[in-house]
Chain A
Amino acid sequence: MKEPEQKLVVPNGWLEALVRKLRVQGTRVLAPVERDGAVDFREINSADEMAANYVNTRVPLKEILFPRTETILEFDQPSGGDVVFSGVEANAAPTIVIGARPCDLSAIGVLDTVFNWDYHDTFYGQRRANTTFVGVACREADGNCFCGSVAGGAGENEGSDVFVRPTADGALLEIMTERGKKLAQSIDDAAPAAGKEEPLPVAATEERFDVEKIKGWLDDHFDDDFWLDVSLKCLGCGACSYLCPTCHCFDIVDESDWRGGERRRNWDCCSFALFTLHTSGHNPRPDQQSRCRNRLMHKFKYFVERFGRRACVGCGRCIRVCGAGQNIVNVLIDITRAEAATSGSA
């Protein structure tokens, strides 16, 4: 939890007024919208379009900053041999995202690290600079949410530009960043918080395993039959990675016809056999067992060692989407049990 720069109270109806104002200004507004039974971030013109009750969107927030496919250069081959190519601008229209969940916002911190830890990725960076996130505390969780075990939980404000805590007659707004302050200027009827506001209770997300124990076991169990067991339930379809808010692996491919085309960046997944396959035929991660291990190790060990934070935020999407019933919480519980057994401190 971070201390907000500023706290404001707003009455019911504030969101409707804000969306109207932003749209009049021509600002792009994205919010969770239910369509064909799924809630996803879509452009809205009015707050009425927003989904009334949703635990979380189907596709995570990452798609707004890091689209599943995007053109990174265009080329043309007007005459034999010569090629004309040029870069493209990222589609980075100023955007306000309303209704993001704390887990997904926490995941943006992971993406910020990946796309900036060394070289600064211009496509990601341009969108990031032009996007303001309005997070909302979760009043409901489902059985697959586990943010309370790996991240800050349902009321975590870190990562938001403005964080909304609903109250009985409106909301308490926590203004977290400069971008948030700028957005707050468009919010009518906002008054400084007196400190007596009582936000409605957030969803309970109890701690289901001790995440601190996980890395210790991973450190010592690269070679273990455990990974074979885990992999037997993995189809290698990649759905978990596509919907994971922190998974960021991508492929770069050319798509063209005889005259020209474009180079695209597409989401990719470490569960795929082709992901690491060398042209020679050699594959450093030749089986599903080694690929499952890499995915989990990356989230709970490698990323921690490298960047000082976990790459899992407990959104539960991988559990909801898995066609084979793979459940990362159960895998992590198994690891903590194995750890307790080996350390003898059950």
Chain B
Amino acid sequence: MPASTDQAIDYLPYKMRVEKITEETPDVTTLKLLFDDHQQAEKFTFKAGQFGLYSVFGYGEATFCIASSPTRKGYIECSVKRAGRVTQALHSLLEGDTIGFRGPYGNCFPVDEMKGRNILFVGGGIGLAPVRSVIWNCLDRRDEFGDITICYGARTVDDLVYKEELKEWEGRDDINTIFTVDPGGETPDWSGKVGFVPTVLGEAKISSDNAVCILCGPPIMIKFTLPVLVDTHGFAKENVITTLENRMKCGVGKCGRCNVGNKYVCKDGPVFTCAEIEEMPPEY
């Protein structure tokens, strides 16, 4: 059980202002949010992997990870795929609009424990959002970590998120990058790989020595990527870390819906190792 907090919860969100809207793909948008209250902005801290509940008043709250890095202070970013009522409302916002945010909640990626180790980041689709928080966290403290490899794929070139950042990572000589799109999703000028993430990852030269893997993506990708990491590249399941994304309402272990067995994704997670997930009933 994680250490319990003595904090009170009244479900009142921070008031945030939409500073910048970036259209990542036809259905994914990144919102950069600033605190309306400067004192709140100064006091606010979070860790990579933590999540929050974002609300458009009149539409409700929805849960997303914080997609920006804790090393970038004064703002948070979230990347939202348009899929339901609240995400549609988030997509309809204009710069300058007000939204609510409460958090940060949940545990985090063990960034400090990853010091001195090689890191393999694997993302699929919008699953790059939580990974991006850790990537920038590590890149902003680059000399504390060993080799960094980023393997990212999406269905089509259009569906790749954070396109500018992908270019920046590709251009750096202190990161290895493997970018891929599903077969048929390539464009004539696509210079990356063509193939599903598990296939491309399986063909890549990756060492699991002194390495940890941060893996996020759609369930189907995780299902097929995990055997590649474990059987092909020799990762121990304890060293493959991912996030679960069950539906949540409270975010603080009370509303009862995110449980997987006796674990609350909102309190014990959202970050779990694949070894931990293997011990759980398959309700995620």
Contacts and interface: CB of A to CB of B under 8 A. Distances in A.
B260 to A, nearest CB: 7
Interface string A284-327: 11000010001001100111011000000000000000000000
A252 B249 contact: yes
B245 A263 contact: no
Interface string B247-262: 1011011111101111
A117 B255 contact: no
Given A117-B4, A118-B267, A252 B250 contact: yes
| Interface of chain B, main secondary structure | loop
A117 B6 CA distance: 9
A118 B84 contact: no
B62 to A, nearest CB: 8
Contacts of A85: 12-13, 15, 57, 100
Contacts of B61: 252, 254, 263
Contact of B11 (A72, A284, A301): A72
Interface stretch (B90-98, B108-116, B204-212): B90-98
A270 B9 contact: no
B250 A250 contact: yes
Contact of B260 (A115, A123, A254, A284): A284
Nearest to B56: A254
B184 interface: no
A119 B87 contact: no
B12 A87 contact: yes
Contacts, number: 134
**Which bucket holds chain A's interface residue count?**
35 or more
Given A83-B57, A254-B60, A290-B283, A302 B254 contact: no
B109 to A, nearest CB: 20
B283 A284 contact: yes
A63 interface: no
A75 interface: yes
A114 interface: yes
Contacts of A279: 62, 83-84, 87
A125 interface: yes
A276 B94 contact: no
A73 B254 contact: no
Contacts of A261: 57-58
A280 to B, nearest CB: 6
Contacts of B187: none
A261 B256 CA distance: 25
B58 A77 contact: yes
B59 to A, nearest CB: 6
B284 interface: yes
Nearest to A302: B262
B254 A250 contact: yes
A83 B10 CA distance: 19
A223 to B, nearest CB: 9
| Interface of chain A, main secondary structure | mixed
Contact of B60 (A86, A114, A252): A252
A250 to B, nearest CB: 5
A121 to B, nearest CB: 6
Given A249-B255, A251-B255, A254-B57, A278 B247 contact: yes
Contact of B58 (A117, A256, A297, A305): A256
Interface string B5-33: 11111111101000000000000000000
Nearest to A223: B281
Given A254-B59, A279-B83, A306-B262, A118 B249 contact: no
Given A249-B257, A252-B249, A120 B58 contact: no
B137 interface: no
A77 to B, nearest CB: 7
Nearest to A290: B283
Contacts of B55: 254, 263
Contacts of A91: none
Contact of A122 (B8, B13, B99, B262): B8
Contacts of A77: 57-58
Contacts of A249: 255-257
B1 A119 contact: no
A226 B219 CA distance: 28
A248 B98 contact: no
A115 B252 CA distance: 10
B284 to A, nearest CB: 5
Contacts of B12: 72-73, 85-87
Contacts of B15: 83, 85
B254 A222 contact: no
Interface of A: 72-73, 75, 77, 81-83, 85-87, 114-115, 117-123, 125, 222, 248-254, 256, 261, 263, 265, 268, 270, 275-280, 282, 284-285, 290, 294, 297-298, 301-303, 305-306
**Closest 6 CB pairs between A and B?**
A249-B256, A256-B58, A119-B9, A279-B84, A302-B262, A279-B83
16 contacts: A72-B12, A75-B58, A85-B13, A85-B15, A120-B9, A222-B281, A252-B249, A254-B59, A254-B60, A256-B58, A268-B255, A268-B256, A275-B247, A275-B257, A276-B257, A301-B262
Given A86-B12, A122-B8, A268-B255, 8 more contacts: A77-B58, A87-B11, A115-B254, A122-B9, A125-B8, A250-B255, A278-B247, A284-B284
